Structure 1
């Protein structure tokens, strides 16, 4: 069955994930209706959604992504905070051990992150998108192919839960199906081949668990113990999320990966470069089992480099690039891609839009890709690419910037702007930043984790002792 008689314009979004919802928000002002094709049922509230295998792990929303979501769906960040999410100023409310040492908690801050469970973030965005009567969802349905030819995509082939095959016409198809995307295969079916692709695998695995914090987490800092990629060892994070809970993730390379046994999880945390996370968890109550994931491959399709690209098709989010989730850039890059798509479609659909949109989506993807891969290629077990002399030189410069940031607000601000996807890496080559890096830190290094007097009081009241530096 084909619904070819249409009197209005329609966009079809493949996938009801965060990227799919943001894609719907992006294009709804440029068409009459948007239909989201979702393989599973969507929960009605902040509950786990099938098809999000990494939802059990920490999902910070960086300010670059949060600002993009706010531009697409005004009021979203306020609703997240009202629902229990934390707006964490960087680096003011971060206890952060970089490969070069402890960061100073600057009282001034220019960027932030939104700390919440993935379930809550998905739920709030989904609620705001589906309030619009122009946006509907077709659940328990899978896209199995594209309609059209190499010049223009005109819709999608669908298969329902009962196996029924249908065709759905569309003026625009947005693939937001994630890492399981079939777009490269579908393009080949249309005669478009030669798609460039990169896969870079650091070999990292990570394990996560949620704890009841021993006190209110309002204003409590994010804790990060970062591995030094030049030496063997793991990393870990504690992110305060809604409900006075701590979301804890531990990461490790081949041969030193965390497991799913509670005793091993705690022992792994104590064996990090600093035992701070283990110290804190000693006073917390486990609420969930431990979830382990080995899928941390960086994978990117360079759709923007193809000589031919069909009108009526755009790929977004993990369908374009999936990043090592250790760096927390996936949601933010997808949000920025959706905002770029919105800017091109808000006035309606036009010829040449799809190629322009795919190139626009590639820009935030490129920044997040350079940040993730720029770290992973220096790991000894990496597969897919080895660092070039230029990569090594850049890595040494960034390491110097990171060391300088511990005692220089100017450098800390520049690094934070890049890491939150608010600025291109060229910011780090500004004359003032180059001079600051040459001069080095203006203050002496911090010799241990920095906590405020109020935070130390909470720890003492909870009976938590910190290991002396």
Structure 2
């Protein structure tokens, strides 16, 4: 896909995070001018910034997301590997622990990109800034979109730059990619429209992250992912990243919070469902102090259900759907929204295209949303409607994890779905279904791996 601009018009994108950058990349094919604005001072050399506090924590880019980014930004993987990132196989090079069971190894043919969020965002920003007709303005705040009274079409955006008076710039399209701040509710009501209905799930998750030095050959894998189990609602990840680092994030739920003192952080790791991540940390040299973040409630905004929307008004990324980060779906979901936006704009930019975008974007986020919400509802303290379908699916997936500990084919099927490279129906393909229903064939891997409470270290 060429990185070139299209025939005409001006689009303004609010928010220069991953979602906003992807939106700008797509819009550059259709609009003569694309202006991307952000309130932050965007760091020239990379690094975390105030408007993206979650960037200090470990991020996952699923295989499908990596594939889409390569499509929009050819050479991305090679460029980032040249900067110290890693491309690894999601099964062969990652230690997965689901419900306390270590997943079987093997070659999944699912490449995953291991890179920090700031490094990825900085790289994407440099590529987007190089596009013809695209301008990125930092220290510039969107006050509100402006629409004509008759018909409600977007005509401009009021901007506030540092040390300047508010200014209205003409625009044919406005994209809300402001992330979790949810400023779109005020903007839409200010234009005389109703806010979108919301689906909300509070998984009561708190993250604490720390960086460690990474040396070649010190660990048998390049990443560790320990999922929380219903009996042990704690988990964590350790991901290799550029700069010779391990990015380690531990999370607890329902008040069981990882401590921010170094000793307490390691004691919490000792209480995870399996010992491998704690054993890794005990061998590593820490580079930073632990840093905590309370994860906001997961919210899906159902714009596809609204009858009236301003023509030329779109919502993108976390502003559309913010996930429980434990599942690592957010950046890939934004990439899938970019595909939906590209396909809709190929048909035009009128009101019908806007409605079609929200419909397709809902499809793009629907699968990962259902997966993460279904996973959250395993925990009794998470409020939500547990339908018969959800209960049966969770029982089936729990059985699948036991089988995946000894069956590489079942493990590969799970990873393909978890990486959004195939639909959830892949878990029920006849070959997979037979193996799961037959159950584990025996061996150490088939036994329950979650340490019983009496065997887990106590204290925090």
CA contact (8 A) 1:200 1:377 kept: no
Unaligned stretches of 5+ in structure 2?
1-6, 450-456
Q: 1:270-311 CA distances to partner (integer Å, 9 max, x unpaired)?
A: 121222222212221111121101124211100011112222
Q: For residue 337 of structure 1, what is the aligned residue in structure 2?
A: 337
- Cα deviation for residue 339 of structure 1 reads 2.0
Q: For residue 354 of structure 1, what is the aligned residue in structure 2?
A: 354
Tell me whether 1:324 sits opposite 2:316 in the alignment.
Answer: no
- Cα deviation for residue 414 of structure 1 reads 2.0
Tell me whether 1:221 sits opposite 2:225 in the alignment.
Answer: no
- Cα deviation for residue 81 of structure 1 reads 1.6
1: CA distance between counterparts of 2:246 and 2:418? 23
- Cα deviation for residue 337 of structure 1 reads 0.7
Moved more, 173-182 or 147-156: 147-156
Task: Please give the residue correspondences for 1:67-82 in structure 2 after superposition, counting only pairs within 5 Å.
Answer: 67-82=67-82
2: CA distance between counterparts of 1:245 and 1:153? 45
2: CA distance between counterparts of 1:35 and 1:96? 41
TM-aligned CA distance change 1:53 to 1:217, over 3 Å: farther
Q: For residue 432 of structure 2, what is the aligned residue in structure 1?
A: 433
Q: For residue 395 of structure 2, what is the aligned residue in structure 1?
A: 396
- Cα deviation for residue 440 of structure 1 reads 2.4
Q: 1:323-345 CA distances to partner (integer Å, 9 max, x unpaired)?
A: 11111111111111112212322
CA contact (8 A) 1:31 1:349 kept: no
Q: For residue 414 of structure 1, what is the aligned residue in structure 2?
A: 413
2: CA distance between counterparts of 1:159 and 1:404? 56
Tell me whether 1:21 sits opposite 2:21 in the alignment.
Answer: yes
RMSD over equivalenced CA pairs, Å = 2.3
Q: For residue 236 of structure 1, what is the aligned residue in structure 2?
A: 236
Q: For residue 287 of structure 1, what is the aligned residue in structure 2?
A: 287
Q: For residue 256 of structure 2, what is the aligned residue in structure 1?
A: 256
CA contact (8 A) 1:100 1:399 kept: no
CA contact (8 A) 1:111 1:417 kept: yes
Q: For residue 105 of structure 1, what is the aligned residue in structure 2?
A: 105
User: What's the secondary structure of 1:227's corresponding residue?
Assistant: coil
CA contact (8 A) 2:146 2:154 kept: yes
TM-aligned CA distance change 1:422 to 1:381, over 3 Å: same
2: CA distance between counterparts of 1:445 and 1:27? 53
CA contact (8 A) 1:12 1:170 kept: yes
TM-score, normalisation: structure 1: 0.89
Moved more, 48-57 or 428-437: 428-437
2: CA distance between counterparts of 1:190 and 1:296? 27
2: CA distance between counterparts of 1:147 and 1:66? 35
TM-score, normalisation: structure 2: 0.90
Task: Please give the residue correspondences for 1:80-159 in structure 2 after superposition, counting only pairs within 5 Å.
Answer: 80-99=80-99, 101-106=101-106, 108-148=107-147, 149=149, 151-159=152-160
Unaligned stretches of 5+ in structure 1?
1-6, 451-466
1: CA distance between counterparts of 2:9 and 2:196? 29
